[in-house]
A and B are shown apart, each in its own frame.
Chain A
Amino acid sequence: MGNADLRDIAAIESIAFEELAGSVVAVDAHNWLYRYLTTTVKWTNDTVYTTAEGDEVANLVGVIQGLPKFFEHEVTPVMVFDGAVTDLKDDEVQRRREQRERYEDDLEDAREEGDAVRVARLESRTQRLTDVILETTRDLLELLDVPVIDAPAEGEGQAAHMARQGDVDYVGTEDYDALLFGAPRTLRQLTSKGDPELMDFQATLTEHDLSWEQLVDVALLCGTDFNEGVRGYGPKTAVKAVKEHGDLWGVSEAEDVYVENADRIRELFLDPAVTDDYSFETSIEPDLDAARSFVTEEWEVDPDEVERGFERIESSVVQTGLDDWA
């Protein structure tokens, strides 16, 4: 999920949702979905979100809760899905799998002890994006006429590429790695109440007088999804070291540190696998009846859980000006 250390050096400011009206955001779909999955199931009963066959479909509730926010502010989301897992990320995937197994063991214990709060917390951590979750999310987005793009690899890399091409205005993700992919303007906290944060790529580079390559080298020292960081290198130390020695190799030589696969990881950020073969329409016309029946009949979600979201989508509103009334 990216290294939160990057926050310390990222140029971030709050931006009012109103200012985003009319813009297009390439959303890192896995990241977005994950946020809703963890919050949706966290404090509530998971039986609501599980079909008779045992498929977890809390994602459908997440989608219906999450989309109104875009529509109500006249923002067009373009959902970018991850493609193949980058092999370098195996470690991270493996690590997360192990962690999840640990949580699952804990969850067993908590259930046996009857600790409901702990059960709820752990359940949220053991959430994963299953095939059913990914497929039903896509089907629902299609019914709602929300554009979906398939990335060849990392969704974030693809989203950043689309923003660099000027085909979208922003990348939407919680992940600070968007900076490393060179996303010019990234919106964070799109899933939270209140205004999002705007993370500015160029301002970040200017603030620290770094090149894009140097920024990636800083991240490599602090640690990324693809490598462990080097002990003793926080963001500030790393910035200083990279500026002093020019690049990662300079730092390696001068300060006797080693980052495994540095060449390849650098390339992943600077020149990620992306496609130009995409197109989308920004006028969205959801088929709400079809989406409702998909969610509540086909996937057996309690209608009460999603009705409000559907209503909000239906009545997505825009701010008028006083001159419209003169």
Chain B
Amino acid sequence: MFNAIVSADTLRTALDSVSVLVEECKLRLEEDGLEIRAVDPANVGMVDLSLSAAAFESYETDGGVIGVNLSRLEDIAGMAEADQLIHLELDEETRKLEIAIDGLEYTLALIDPDSIRQEPDLPDLDLAAEIILEGRDVNRAVKASDMVSDHIALGVDEAEDMFYVDAEGDTDDVHFELGREDLIDLTAGPARSLFSLDYLKDMNKAIPSDAEVRMELGEEFPVKMHFDIAEGQGTVTYMLAPRVQSD
């Protein structure tokens, strides 16, 4: 059983943060909210989302897992105005999701969850540095780097007590520094890793500019980025595997 009402805005924000990485995903219907964990086909980027029952106008379920085509669901959610309510109800018999936006009804065929790529376990990483910064600064770093290169180094300079971003292109460079006073918080530690901008660009799209992003970074380790959505009633964690020296 699953029966929920949620604002279009909240649903869209949640779906967008997942759809930047995957086409299809499993929705875990937990009693205290909705959970999605998905990894992209290349196994490079992962998203872990939870949307608490409090983010919904109403939320009822006795548990279960359903598989959905995200772009289909996003298209439907896109039919609603931001403040309109979307009613989701699982038809146990037909295994279809009934979606209603005022008078508009849409019956969405579900995907067999077993056919969807298995989500990985979250690796237990020892990431020495933690940077808390505004979403808009992540955006600036990614945007500027994208002008010159297709990869980006994120690091912490312990001596200078700052977070930095380096992008080196064929001809041009970008360097971006954020000192302690520019950041919300900084736990300095040895950290520098290189990442594909293709992935970071996609993740960045889903990070609201006024969000507080908690970034965990290590020395040639995956990066984790955590931020809240739905006015604190939901959390998103992205994890991205680094590029490392080939030999």
A: which residues have CB within 8 A of B? 16-18, 65, 68-69, 71-72, 74, 193-194, 308, 312, 315-326
Selected contact of A324 from candidates B45, B196, B241, CB within 8 Å: B241
Selected contact of B196 from candidates A18, A74, A308, CB within 8 Å: A18
**Interface residues on chain B, number (Cβ under 8 Å):** 30
Cβ B121 vs Cβ A319 within 8 A: no
Query: How many residue pairs between the two chains, A and B, have CB atoms under 8 Å in the bound complex?
Result: 68
If A316-B245, A317-B246, A319-B241 touch, whether A325 touches B221 (CB-CB below 8 Å) is yes
**What 8 A-B pairs come out closest when comparing CB atoms?**
A321-B43, A317-B243, A325-B123, A320-B241, A326-B123, A318-B246, A322-B241, A319-B243
Cα separation A324 to B123 with both chains bound (whole Å): 9
Cα separation A308 to B121 with both chains bound (whole Å): 38
Cα separation A25 to B68 with both chains bound (whole Å): 39
| 8 contacting pairs across A/B (C-beta < 8 A) | A18-B42, A315-B245, A320-B44, A321-B43, A321-B241, A322-B43, A322-B222, A322-B239
Q: Which of B45, B151, B169, B171 has the most CB atoms of chain A within a 10 A radius of its CB?
A: B171
Cα separation A317 to B150 with both chains bound (whole Å): 12
For residue B198, give the distance in angstroms from its CB to the closest CB of chain A. 7
B168 at the interface (CB under 8 A from A): yes
Instruction: Chain B residues near A324: list those with CB within 8 A.
Output: 241
For residue A312, give the distance in angstroms from its CB to the closest CB of chain B. 7
If A65-B170, A312-B168 touch, whether A322 touches B44 (CB-CB below 8 Å) is yes
B129 at the interface (CB under 8 A from A): no
B125 at the interface (CB under 8 A from A): yes
Query: Which residue of chain A has the shortest Cβ distance to B40 in the bound complex?
Result: A322
Query: Which residue of chain B has the shortest Cβ distance to A73 in the bound complex?
Result: B150
Instruction: Chain B residues near A74: list those with CB within 8 A.
Output: 246
Instruction: Chain B residues near A323: list those with CB within 8 A.
Output: 43, 120
Cα separation A318 to B196 with both chains bound (whole Å): 10
For residue A176, give the distance in angstroms from its CB to the closest CB of chain B. 24
For residue B127, give the distance in angstroms from its CB to the closest CB of chain A. 11
Instruction: Chain B residues near A194: list those with CB within 8 A.
Output: 150
Cα separation A293 to B247 with both chains bound (whole Å): 23
Query: Which residue of chain A has the shortest Cβ distance to B220 in the bound complex?
Result: A320
